Amino acid sequence: MTAAVTHVVKAGRLIEGTGAAATGATAVIIEDGLIADVRPLDRLGALPAGAHVYDGSRCTAMPGIIDCHDHVAHFGLDLTRRFQLAPSLAVLQVGRWLDDTLRAGVTTLRDAAGVDLGVKMAVDQGVIDGPRLLISLVIISQTGGHGDLTQPSGLSSDLPRLPGIPDGIADGTDGVRRKVREVLKLGADWIKIATNGGGGSPRGGYTTRQFCLDEVRVIVDEAHSKDVRVMAHAHGGESLDMCLAAGVDTVEHGGLASDRQLEEMARRRIWLVPTLSVTQRMVERIRRDPTSVPAYTAARVPAMLEEKRKVFRRALALGVPMAMGTDAGALGHAENARELVYMVEAGMTPMQSIVASTGDAARLLSMDDRVGTLRPGRRADLLLVAGDPLDDIAAVADPGRLALVMKDGRVYKTLLDGPASGAV
């Protein structure tokens, strides 16, 4: 039997992920993929023979980033290119994007539709490198709703689709109950539903109500009966009221939520995943080339950006629990950390944005006993960022300043002198 190797990560400062003040020079000791100890560097003492040491004394250590809303199997907005993708190429492309996303600092990811069970198993079994995955497979949607991608031609733009992804369309209380059961049978960790339209909806916009209260109640009841939680695409208005009445667990986007709705979310500790990235990056795309998206998208999205920022600030002031999510897969992959920059621009402190992307995100996913903080007993998911992200949060989103990425005690990227990438 091969003896376990001890890893030691030295950092000039450490951000734990709980909101506690950053500490000074610190050593993180890692054994068998777990954090064994965190101690001041001047108390490190003698190391075991063969220990791998990573000297990030000019860097900040922080937990791996957790993205609670991405679509890592989204193949972009270019339909011509997507029509030309062979199914096997599509699967391999998703594997590459997962690897890129991990190396960009994301160590855990909740996929909000598109990734199937086989891809998750491939990560779990080490066939491909990527963040640990929680999957929803598909957006459960009413006929003609946000997840119904049938175009005026009669063809669906939901392509290519990974082999284990079912159709997500369901109507009526019996239909939605059957659909939840089907999605759970195929391996979903979360149930994702759409109760509003959106910027990219061919029919209906941000305030269009989709599903009815009885349907949403049945979805929540069926999921909760199997100890699975529900994430709801909801921007505001009647649809958000419906979600709160039915007992959904997380609200995705929430860009038109009223103060009354935010107050209820704060009181009931219902999570908001604000997804600023998708709106910000779509606005940037529209400014570069308005013809690169459908006309209805170009007309809707820019006005939503400032509304989302206003709601974000109100949610923060009211104490709504918030966790990081990007929803930006359609606009490219492995740039998830830009969300921290957008959250700071919208009103968070750098520390708040980091906690929303680490410790609080882990709490939303009920994984805070395993990941999200740099504490003894947690999985060794750790980043070293050159400089101090509390002074410049953009450092987290700069690949050139991401000096080390570790997941489960394995190094996937390092710009430091030390053991080769992938050493265990």
Please state the rounded mean pLDDT for residues 301-308. Answer: 94
pLDDT tens, 120-178? 999 999 999 999 999 999 999 999 999 998 888 888 888 999 999 999 999 999 999 99
Give yes or no for a contact between 109 and 70, defined as CB atoms under 8 angstroms apart: yes
Residue 81 is predicted with a pLDDT of 93
Please state the rounded mean pLDDT for residues 13-28. Answer: 98
User: pLDDT band at residue 220, thresholds of 50, 70 and 90?
Assistant: very high
* pLDDT above 90 for 357: yes
User: pLDDT band at residue 184, thresholds of 50, 70 and 90?
Assistant: very high
With a pLDDT cut of 70, the percent of the chain lying above it is: 97
Strand partners, 272: 251, 322
The Cα 57–Cα 40 span in angstroms is 12
* pLDDT above 90 for 3: no
DSSP string, 8-66: EEEEEEE--SSSPPPBSSEEEEEETTEEEEEEEGGG-----TT-EEEEEEEEEEEEPEE
Number of H helices, E strands in the chain: 12, 15
Residue 4 is predicted with a pLDDT of 76
Please state the rounded mean pLDDT for residues 368-385. Answer: 98
Residue 181 is predicted with a pLDDT of 98
Residue 420 is predicted with a pLDDT of 36
3-state secondary structure of 234: strand
Residue 152 is predicted with a pLDDT of 81
Residue with tokens 């029919």: 203
* pLDDT above 60 for 295: yes
Looking at the chain, how many residues does it have? 424
Domains and CATH numbers, the chain: 6-63+373-414 (2.30.40.10), 65-336 (3.20.20.140)
* pLDDT above 70 for 91: yes
* pLDDT above 50 for 421: no
Please state the rounded mean pLDDT for residues 196-200. Answer: 89
Please state the rounded mean pLDDT for residues 203-232. Answer: 95
* pLDDT above 90 for 418: no
Neighbours of 161 (CB within 10 A): 17
* pLDDT above 60 for 2: no
| Structure tokens that stand for 239 in this block | 């649809």
